[in-house]
Amino acid sequence: MATPTTAITTSIPWWELGNYPASTPPPGSGIQSNLINPPSQHQYGVITQSLCLTIATLAVLMRIYTKTLLLRNPGWDDYTSVLAWLGLIANATLTLIQDHYGYGRHIWDMTGNSFTSMAKFIWAQQILYNPIIFVTKLSILLLYLRVFKPSNMTFIALHIVLWANLAFYVAATFVEIFQCKPMRKTYLPLLEGSCINQRNAQIASGAINVISDIAILLLPMASVWKLQVYRKGKIGLFVIFGFGLFACVASTFRLALFIRYTNKTDGTWTMYPVNLWTAAELACGIVCGCIPALPAFIRHVSSWRVKVIVTRITRSGSSYASSGQRSAAAARGVMGESLRSPNVEKPRVRERWEELDDLEYQPGDAEREGAGAEVRQVWPQSKLARMEQEQAALGMKRGYGNVNSFQR
């Protein structure tokens, strides 16, 4: 984003601009300067920056939580994602400061001093943009490098793209810093000196940036298609990588707006949407790098919700469970009295044993000898073994001590 300096046409020296308008309205337009309550686009800036920061913050928090606490394997791609998020915050801060000094207003509706202060922060944002966008792309590339094996051709191509981006953005940063001589002329356009053609430099930088976005988006696609996974799995992976398309769209719109409005005389107004698309580009890049952690986070949240639902159902049924336990205890008391009564036939003990089919206990010889003689008088031979086992299990699991107590 170039500093909108081409609109300053005043003949007043820059050190005497004071409270004068930074420029005059177009001749014959009938427009007058309004330094008190001018129209502005600041509301769009606040909405865009707030939305981008909110989405990017939620995405980064989800990624760090998933990789650190759930999967427990954070890497450099996660750390660079946090660094890119901090860069997004810095970019939003610089944008809001520019708005405070008048960016988003017509240039004839701001004073010369306000224009100078605004131009300083625009220059700072230009310098900071290149490291931020590089760290954002570095986070995505490091994520890819963790997925693909070193022997894979995609792995080698990713390394080429990574180091090419590093070289380009380092060079672009130095160009932004030293674009004018003296350097103060960057934000004091009426100062004597010379500058490079900012428009051509910005267009070339924006074009390479778009090409880089497309390369990062398309590089892993061929390898993903060859993965031995189900069709649904491939579709899911393509959806994850496809979120990078938003970053490509944002960077393309940013470049198109720059080409269209960079030569306009009212640069502080016409160039303002470029700031909004810059924020969208950075936020989309950060979110794109965080999307691969989303499936694991969704599974965690789903399992947590299931646990909450089960807990609520269990608690709501506790009253029924307690009443049922009281009824069962009463039934066991009645059954115990009937079993000990001499008037009750011995074979009815079988009704109590039927509750113990799931117990796995092998009775000893002494227990079989104590319980087997009387039972053989009633039950067929085929059922003796199971009855003896159930007797022993009932005596050991229920704490009755000797199974012969049920025969008395």
- pLDDT tier at 406, thresholds 50, 70, 90: very low
The tokens describing 266, both together, are 């009212």
Higher pLDDT, 408 or 389: 389
pLDDT tens digits along 295-318? 888 888 887 666 656 566 666 655
38-52, 143-157, 378-392, range with the lowest pLDDT: 378-392
| 195: DSSP letter | E
The domain limits of the chain are 14-23+39-306, 333-407
pLDDT at 229: 62
Q: What's the mean pLDDT in 29-50?
A: 87
Q: What is the domain class of 14-23+39-306 according to CATH?
A: mainly alpha
* Residue 103, SS3 per DSSP: strand
pLDDT at 86: 95
* Residues β-bridged to residue 180: 195
Look at residue 57 and tell me whether its pLDDT is greater than 60.
yes
- C-alpha to C-alpha distance for 7 and 24, rounded to whole angstroms: 9
- pLDDT tier at 153, thresholds 50, 70, 90: confident
Look at residue 241 and tell me whether its pLDDT is greater than 60.
yes
Residue closest to 165 by CA, chosen among 103, 121, 116, 208: 208
Give the chain's mean pLDDT: 74
pLDDT tens digits along 76-111? 989 999 999 999 999 999 999 999 998 989 888 888
Q: How far apart are the first and last CA of the chain?
A: 98
Look at residue 3 and tell me whether its pLDDT is greater than 70.
no
Residue 356, classified by CB atoms within 10 Å of its CB into exposed (0-12), middle (13-18) or buried (19+), is middle
pLDDT tens digits along 180-230? 988 888 888 778 888 888 888 888 888 999 999 888 888 877 776 666 666
79-83, 280-284, 341-345, range with the lowest pLDDT: 341-345
Residue 347, classified by CB atoms within 10 Å of its CB into exposed (0-12), middle (13-18) or buried (19+), is exposed
pLDDT at 239: 65
pLDDT at 389: 55
Neighbouring CB atoms inside 10 A of 393's CB total 21
Residue closest to 205 by CA, chosen among 157, 266, 254, 238: 254
Contact between residue 122 and residue 1 where contact means Cβ atoms under 8 Å apart: yes
> In angstroms, what CA-CA distances link 110 with 39, 114, 170, 269, 360?
11, 6, 34, 11, 89
pLDDT at 400: 35
> Strands 180-181, 194-195: parallel, antiparallel or unpaired by DSSP?
antiparallel
Cα angle value 35/278/253 (rounded, 5°): 105
Q: What amino acid occupies position 381?
A: Q
Residue closest to 24 by CA, chosen among 271, 265, 272, 269: 265
- C-alpha to C-alpha distance for 95 and 1, rounded to whole angstroms: 12
> In angstroms, what CA-CA distances link 167 with 89, 161, 201?
24, 10, 16
* Residue 21, SS3 per DSSP: strand
SS in 3 state form for 139-186?
HHHHHHHHHCCCCCHHHHHHHHHHHHHHHHHHHHHHHHHCCEECHHHH
Higher pLDDT, 174 or 375: 174
Cα angle value 264/265/270 (rounded, 5°): 55
Cα angle value 332/356/329 (rounded, 5°): 15
Q: What interhelical angle do 198-218 and 153-177 show, nearest 10?
A: 160
Reported pTM: 0.69
- C-alpha to C-alpha distance for 133 and 122, rounded to whole angstroms: 16
